[in-house]
Amino acid sequence: MTGEAASRGRIDKRQAILAAAFEVFANRGYAQACVQEIADAAGVAKPTVYNHLTDKETLYRHAVEAAADLVGAECRTAVAGLRDTDRNPEPALRDSAYRLLRICNGERSHALRSLTFAQLASFPDLANLVQDRTSGQLAETLADRLARLSLAGRLRPCDPVVAAEQLLALLTGPLEVRSRLGTRKVSAAELKSIANAAVDTFLSAYGGGTSAPEMA
């Protein structure tokens, strides 16, 4: 009991530090963020931060990695509805598209994107890691789903990797513009409109499988 409570406390503190770190890094950027501020935000003393995470760099890497994992998981959840190949995929596509946009429009996503770009030069490996665990995995998952839909005759035969890539591009590209890189709030209605426009275009190109064969 005591042991569990203690280690719980330890873990909580570490989590608190990582969360505070991501928050501060997101607001200030890597270089401008100072460890003292992170410590303050986490409610601990500066050396405690160092005890748990060695370095400003290490702190940054762990904070970013954790955020990337969170976003990645959210994204995978968002496209879960596409697993069903028994139905016309259009409603599921519209739903997933909107869910993805909500995630991408979230603060965490914007911050992650921002930080990743910002530190491209300093931590290129971290950029790759983040991309893999977020858009990379998402694209793969999506490609899998699209491939099955295509096989099931719900989508025209196509390269599922390209299709997934383009669907995502049709979602995130316009969002980036409309949100002005994340500096502007985008209403739910606008998100829906982006999502639907994306799905429309996507289906124009990839829709219409066997049920209404375009004589592929």
2 binds DNA (CB under 7 A): yes
29 binds DNA (CB under 7 A): no
36 binds DNA (CB under 7 A): yes
114 binds a copy of itself (CB under 8 A): yes
DSSP the chain: -HHHHHHHHHHHHHHHHHHHHHHHHHHH-TTT--HHHHHHHHTS-HHHHHHHHSSHHHHHHHHHHHHHHHHHHHHHHHTGGGG--SS-SHHHHHHHHHHHHHHHTSHHHHHHHHHHHHTTTT-HHHHHHHHIIIIIHHHHHHHHHHHHHHHTTSS-S--HHHHHHHHHHHHHHHHHHHTGGGTS---HHHHHHHHHHHHHHHHHHH---TTS----
168 binds, among DNA, a copy of itself, none (CB under 5 to 8 A by kind): a copy of itself
169 binds a copy of itself (CB under 8 A): yes
13 binds, among DNA, a copy of itself, none (CB under 5 to 8 A by kind): DNA
56 binds DNA (CB under 7 A): yes
Could you list the residues that contact DNA (CB under 7 A)?
A: 2, 6-7, 9-10, 13, 32-36, 44-48, 50-52, 55-57
Which positions lie near a copy of itself, rule CB under 8 A?
Answer: 26-32, 113-114, 116-122, 124, 127-128, 131, 135-136, 139, 162, 165-166, 168-170, 172-174, 177, 180-183, 197-198, 200-202, 204-206
